[in-house]
Amino acid sequence: MTRRIAFRNARLIDPASGLDVRGGLLVENGRIADIGPRLFNDAEPGDPEVIDCKGLVLAPGLIDARVFTGEPGSEYRETLASASEAAAAGGITTIVVMPNTDPVIDEPSLVDFILRRAAATAKVRVAPMAALTRHLAGETMTEIGLLKEAGAVAFTDGDRTLANARVLRRALAYASTFDALIVGHAEDPTLTEGAAVTEGEYAMRLGLPAAPSAAEAIVVERDLRLVEMTGARYHFSQISTRAALDVIASAKERGVAVTCGVAAHHLALNELDVGSYLTFMKVKPPLRSEADPAAMVEGVASGLIDIIVSSHDPQAADTKRQPFAQAAFGAVGLETLLPVALGLHHDGRAHLSHVLKALSATPARILGLNAGTLAKGAPADLVLIDPDEPFTLRESELRSRARNTPFAGRRFHGRAQRTFVGGVCVFERKSGK
């Protein structure tokens, strides 16, 4: 029996094709069967399930290209299942999970484990990245070919920077054989060792161990030279400084195959938000000077920064309730990714469709995922967004297993109302929640 869902009266935004019209969309057996401005306009569709979108935005489900969970190894922080609950509530239909687990995802059987666990327990799609080096030790490259066959969408050492340039050069050259995407984290490991915040006046006032923000651009510059040398496909998982962005801009001008992302918190927060040692503001890389978030917003608006990620990194209360320098890095972000990103639209910095593109179509293209589009035949991964609904983020209402959000008490406009994965509703917001 064919299962059909008719969406009518929606503002359809498909950033991949530039479509932004009032209309309807038909889902059949989990795929988009039809879409158009006149669909279901006049007559009530005769389908069993009709969803009146009441003019809200219907867009491709979001793809979050940087998510840490605790599965396997530290399920008390987050499981694939609990992360998927949070993702669904955030309008995210695909989470790309990092290999920094215990054990590290550096074996084809472990990629398989993630995919099977996800299929069995998660509400949203899970796309694993595999480690670039074994045990994330930065010494020996992993079986890039076999891991890719097993389903790894990219290769990364997650929140670690590969210190050894020779190892990186070889891994890049080898990966290009398989057209595999390499994803890098840019923090010079020796300059940032032991550091908790960005060097500067504020760090001095707090007396905290600090690293210069140039630690990012230094690695970006090095990595790009190696990318040019090897012809690999390369993506910077998240950058946070204007200096790094300038380096990437000049590489893009030279035609280097590089893309980059930015974490939502680096768009909205700066080092002053650390306040009096608020450990929920301790992220990696650290929050930057007041000028950097503005540069990041500018980068997203101009398209120089390709995608926005949550950098979701759940941490248990006991590792955050510590003196700042001892506290764990990381912030949860699945449920705030869309609200923070919509801020760019509300501030008049970027068109709504442009913001959604950085959250769906572009990450899909970079990662080679069959998602992020409203094209006929594509999987019906959809999000219904009220872009204007005002709300205050309450820590207690987060679905994530960990609650370490830097945005508690913040006011936002706009969030997901309903989320569909393969045509199945995985989240529906009860009013006011």
Partner 1 sequence: MTPAHAEPLLKSSHLLGIEALSVGEIAALLDLAETYVALNRSASKKTDLLKGRTLINLFFEASTRTQSSFELAGKRLGADVLNMAVTSSSVAKGETLIDTATTLNAMRPDMLVVRHADSGAAELLARKLDCCVVNAGDGSHEHPTQALLDALTIRRRRGGFEGLIVAICGDVLHSRVARSNIHLLLKMGARVRLIAPRTLLPADADRFGVEIFHDMKKGLAGADIVMMLRLQLERMSGAFVPSTREYFRFFGLDHEKLKAAKPGALVMHPGPMNRGVEIDSAVADDIEVSVIQEQVEMGVAIRMAVLDALSRGLAQGGRNAP
What are the φ/ψ torsions at residue 295 (nearest 5 degrees)?
A: -65, -35
Give min distance, CB of 281 to partner 1, in A: 12
Nearest Cα neighbor of 32 from 323, 427, 363, 422 is 422
Q: What is the DSSP letter of 45?
A: P
Please identify which residue in 178, 277, 329, 391 interacts with partner 1, judged by CB under 8 A. 277
**Smallest distance, partner 1 to C-beta of residue 204, A:** 4
Structure tokens at 233: 């496909």
* Residue of 50, 137, 325, 424 that binds partner 1 (CB under 8 A): 325
Residue 280 within binding range of partner 1, rule CB under 8 A: no
- CB-based contact 373:14 (threshold 8 Å): yes
Q: Is 194 in the site for partner 1 (CB under 8 A)?
A: yes
Question: What DSSP character marks residue 400?
Answer: S
Which whole-number Å values give the CA distances from 282 to 6, 113, 301, 315, in the listed order? Answer: 44, 31, 26, 11
Q: Which two tokens stand for residue 101?
A: 């687990």
User: In whole angstroms, how close is the CB of 189 to partner 1 at the nearest point?
Assistant: 14
Among 324, 407, 420, 427, binds partner 1 (CB under 8 A): 324
Residue type, 262: V
What is the C-alpha end-to-end distance of the chain, expressed in Å?
35
Contact stretch for partner 1 (CB under 8 A) within 17-25, 151-159, 197-205, 363-371: 197-205
Q: What is the largest CA-CA distance in the chain?
A: 67
Region near partner 1 per CB under 8 A, out of 34-42, 129-137, 158-166, 314-322: 314-322
- Min separation Cβ 138 and partner 1, Å: 21
Which x/- pattern, by CB under 8 A, does the window 199-218 give for partner 1? xxx-xxxxxxxx-x------
Q: In whole angstroms, give the CA distance from residue 402 to residue 333.
A: 10
**Site size toward partner 1, by CB under 8 A:** 22
CB atoms within 10 A of CB 397: 13
At closest approach, how far in Å is the CB of 208 from partner 1?
A: 5
Q: Give dist(CA 396, CA 412) in Å, integer.
A: 16
Contact between 316 and partner 1 by CB under 8 A: the answer reads: no
The 8-class DSSP code of residue 396 comes to G
Residue 191 vs 294, nearer CB to partner 1: 191
Binding track over 371-390 against partner 1, x by CB under 8 A: --------------------
Residue 9 or 319 having the CB closest to partner 1 = 319
Q: State which residue, 52 or 193, has the beta carbon closest to partner 1.
A: 193
Among the listed residues 18, 103, 323, 390, the single contact to partner 1 using CB under 8 A: 323
Q: Amino acid identity of 147?
A: L
- Tell me the C-alpha distance between 277 and 239, whole Å: 23
Say which residues have a Cβ less than 8 Å from residue 249's Cβ, sequence separation at least 6.
304
409: contact with partner 1 by CB under 8 A = no
Strands (E), 38-106: 49-52, 57-60, 62-67, 92-97
Comparing CB distances to partner 1, the nearer of 176 and 289 is 289
The answer to whether residue 326 forms part of the interface with partner 1 (CB under 8 A) is yes
* Minimum separation from the CB atom of position 133 to partner 1 (A): 26
Give the nearer residue to partner 1 in terms of CB position, either 81 or 278. Answer: 278
Q: What is the 3-state secondary structure (H, E, C) of 248-269?
A: HHHHHHCCCCEEEEEEHHHHHC
Kindly list the residues in this chain that would bind partner 1 in the complex (CB under 8 A).
194, 199-201, 203-210, 212, 276-277, 318, 321-326
